[in-house]
C-alpha cells in the first residue's frame, strides 16, 4: 500500500500540479484529444447510423463491421498509423476516430431498431412524413441507446488516448510512459490513477445523461411497461453498460 501512498504523494506534489509537464496540462491535452475525436466520430457515424436504422438497409454490414472492429488491436492500429504519418498528433487522432466510429454507429442504429415497429407504423399512419418520423419519433426514442454508444466510444477513446502517448500524443499517458522508462513506479501509478478517475467520471456523467434523455412519454409509461420489445433481433454489442430495454 506504500506504493499507493507514494502515487498520491506524487499527484499532490506541487511540482506536478503546474508547469509545462504538470498534471493540468496533460489533463487538458487528454480531454482535448478525446473531445475532438468524439466530435469527429459522431459527425461521421451518427448520420450514417440513423440512415441504417431508419431504412434497415446495410444493417448486416454495419453489424459485422462493428463486431469485426473488436478484433482490431488498438495498439497495432495506433502504431501503424504513426509509422505511416509520422510522430505527432494527427496519427493518434485518426486511429482514435477509426476506433470510436463503430460504437457510435452501433448506438445510433440500434437506438432506432429498439423502437417497436408499431410505434413507427402508427406515426406513418397519422400522416407523418419520413423526415418527421425520424426527427419526432425515432431520434427521441433512440436517444438513450445513442448516448450508450457515445458512452462506450468515450471510454474507448479515453483508454486508447492513454496508449496514444506511446506514439507521442501527450496526455495523461505521458506519466505512465515516462515512469516506465525511468522505472519510476509511483509516477506510472499516479498516471494510471488519474486516467482511471477520468474514465469513471465520464462513465458517471454518461450514465446520468442516459437516464435524463429518456423521453417523458416513455418515463410516464415505464411502470406499465407499454413499450413492447423490438420485433427485430437485438445485436450483441460489446458493452455491459448499454440499456436493453
Distance from chain centroid for Cα 18 = 29
Q: Does 162 bind another protein (CB under 8 A)?
A: yes
Q: Does 181 bind another protein (CB under 8 A)?
A: no
Euclidean distance between CA atoms 25 and 119, whole angstroms: 49
Q: Does 233 bind another protein (CB under 8 A)?
A: no
Give yes or no for a contact between 101 and 160, defined as CB atoms under 8 angstroms apart.
no
Taking the least distance from each CB to another protein, the nearer of 37 and 139 is 37
Q: Does 105 bind another protein (CB under 8 A)?
A: no
Give yes or no for a contact between 128 and 136, defined as CB atoms under 8 angstroms apart.
yes
Q: Does 191 bind another protein (CB under 8 A)?
A: yes
Single out the segment in contact with another protein by CB under 8 A; choices: 18-26, 39-47, 172-180, 215-223.
172-180
**What distance separates the 2 farthest-apart alpha carbons in the chain?**
68
Single out the segment in contact with another protein by CB under 8 A; choices: 73-81, 101-109, 133-141, 217-225.
73-81
Euclidean distance between CA atoms 46 and 27, whole angstroms: 27
Q: How many CB atoms lie within 10 A of CB 17?
A: 11
Among 31, 185, 227, 232, binds another protein (CB under 8 A): 185
**Distance in Å, CB of 70 to another protein, minimum:** 5
* Helices and strands (DSSP H and E) totals, the chain: 11, 0
Taking the least distance from each CB to another protein, the nearer of 204 and 217 is 204
Question: Quick one: cell of 96?
Answer: 482514435
Give how far Cα 147 sits from Cα of 128, 183, 211, Å.
Answer: 25, 40, 10
Each residue 122-161 as x (binds another protein by CB under 8 A) or -, in order, gives ---------------------------------x--xx--
Give yes or no for a contact between 161 and 175, defined as CB atoms under 8 angstroms apart.
no
Give yes or no for a contact between 187 and 10, defined as CB atoms under 8 angstroms apart.
yes
Q: Does 39 bind another protein (CB under 8 A)?
A: no
Residues of the shown chain interacting with another protein in the complex, contacts defined by CB under 8 A:
1, 3-4, 67, 70-77, 79-80, 82-84, 155, 158-159, 162-163, 166-167, 173, 176-177, 180, 185, 188-189, 191-193, 195-196, 199-200, 203, 236, 238-241, 244
Amino acid at each position: 500500500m506504500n506504493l499507493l501512498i507514494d502515487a498520491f504523494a506524487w499527484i499532490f506534489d506541487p511540482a506536478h500540479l503546474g508547469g509545462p509537464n504538470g498534471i493540468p496540462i496533460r489533463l487538458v491535452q487528454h480531454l482535448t484529444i478525446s473531445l475532438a475525436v468524439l466530435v469527429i466520430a459522431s459527425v461521421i457515424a451518427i448520420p450514417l447510423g440513423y440512415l441504417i436504422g431508419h431504412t434497415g438497409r446495410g444493417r448486416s454490414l454495419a453489424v459485422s463491421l462493428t463486431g469485426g472492429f473488436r478484433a482490431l488491436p488498438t495498439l497495432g492500429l495506433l502504431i501503424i498509423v504513426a509509422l505511416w504519418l509520422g510522430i505527432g498528433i494527427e496519427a493518434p487522432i485518426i486511429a482514435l476516430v477509426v476506433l470510436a466510429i463503430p460504437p457510435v454507429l452501433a448506438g445510433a442504429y440500434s437506438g432506432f431498431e429498439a423502437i417497436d415497429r408499431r410505434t413507427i407504423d402508427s406515426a406513418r399512419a397519422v400522416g407523418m412524413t419520413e423526415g418527421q418520423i425520424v426527427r419526432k419519433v425515432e431520434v427521441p426514442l433512440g436517444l438513450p441507446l445513442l448516448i450508450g454508444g457515445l458512452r462506450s466510444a468515450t471510454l474507448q477513446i479515453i483508454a486508447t488516448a492513454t496508449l496514444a502517448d506511446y506514439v507521442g500524443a501527450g496526455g495523461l499517458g505521458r506519466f505512465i510512459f515516462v515512469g516506465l522508462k525511468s522505472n519510476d513506479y509511483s509516477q506510472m501509478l499516479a498516471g494510471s490513477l488519474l486516467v482511471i478517475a477520468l474514465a469513471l467520471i465520464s462513465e458517471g456523467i454518461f450514465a446520468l445523461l442516459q437516464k435524463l434523455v429518456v423521453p417523458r412519454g416513455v418515463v410516464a409509461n415505464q411502470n406499465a411497461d407499454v413499450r413492447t420489445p423490438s420485433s427485430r433481433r437485438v445485436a450483441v454489442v460489446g458493452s455491459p453498460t448499454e440499456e436493453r430495454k
